[in-house]
Amino acid sequence: MPLLINRAVAEDSWLLVDEDNLSAHVDEDIVVPYELFAENVDSLMQAKGALGVRINGDQNLDLVLQYLDKLALVAIEFPAFTDGRGFSFARILRRSGFTGQIRAEGDVTRDRLEYMERCGFDAFAIPADRYSADIANAFGEVTVHYQGSADDERPIFRQ
C-alpha cells in the first residue's frame, strides 16, 4: 500500500502491533489499535519508541485527545466513502493543537486527498488499486476554497 507523507511517496517506518506482539516491540515506533490503546494506556506511555494510535469514527476521540502530547501519529480509518467522520476527527485534532502526523487509511481516494489535507491530514495510505504515479497532482487542483481549513482558518471573504 503506497504511503504519501507531505505529498511525497515515503516508506512506512511505523509497526502496527496487536495484543500478541505488543510487549516485543515497546522500544520501536508502534501504532496500536484504539481498543489496545484504551486498555493499556498507562503502560504505553512508558514505551521507549514513538507511539501512534489507529482510530475510526465509531470510537471515542476524547481518550486520544487526553494524550496528544504523548502521541506522534494518529491513523484515522475511513471504512467507506460515505463515512466522513474522519474529516471531523482530523479537524478536531489540529484545533486541539496536535502537531504529529495524521494519517488517512482505508477508503482513501484521489478525489478526496486535497479535502483531507485541508482538514489536517498530512499522510495518506492509498490502496494499491487506487494508486497512480500522478496521484500527487491531486493536491492543488482546486485553487479557490470558500471555507476556512486547518491550513488557513479564514473563509474566502476574509482572505
pLDDT per residue as tens digits for the range 125-142: 988 877 777 777 777 776
Domain tally for the chain?
1
Residue 134, number of CB atoms within 10 A of its CB? 7
Strand pairing partners for 73? 52, 101
Q: Which residue has the cell 491513523?
A: 75
CB proximity list for 34: less than 8 A, separation 6 or greater: 53, 54, 55, 56, 59, 63, 64
pLDDT tens-digit profile of 89-120? Answer: 999 999 999 999 999 999 998 888 888 998 99
- The predicted structure's pLDDT at residue 146: 60
Determine the average pLDDT of the residues in 82-87.
91
CA 120 from centroid of its chain's CA atoms: 8
Task: Provide, for the chain, the percentages of residues in helix, strand and coil under a 3-state DSSP scheme, each rounded to the nearest 5.
Answer: 35, 20, 45
Please report, in angstroms and rounded to a whole number, the separation of the first and last CA atoms in the chain.
38
- CATH number of residue 43's parent domain: 3.20.20
**pTM for the structure as a whole:** 0.87
Burial degree of 157 (CB within 10 A; 0-12, 13-18, 19+): exposed
- Domain containing 118 equals 3-158
Distance CA 17, CA 82 (A): 28
Is it the case that residue 25 has pLDDT exceeding 70? yes
Using DSSP's 3-state secondary structure scheme, residue 88 falls into helix
Q: What Rg, from alpha-carbon coordinates, does the chain have?
A: 16
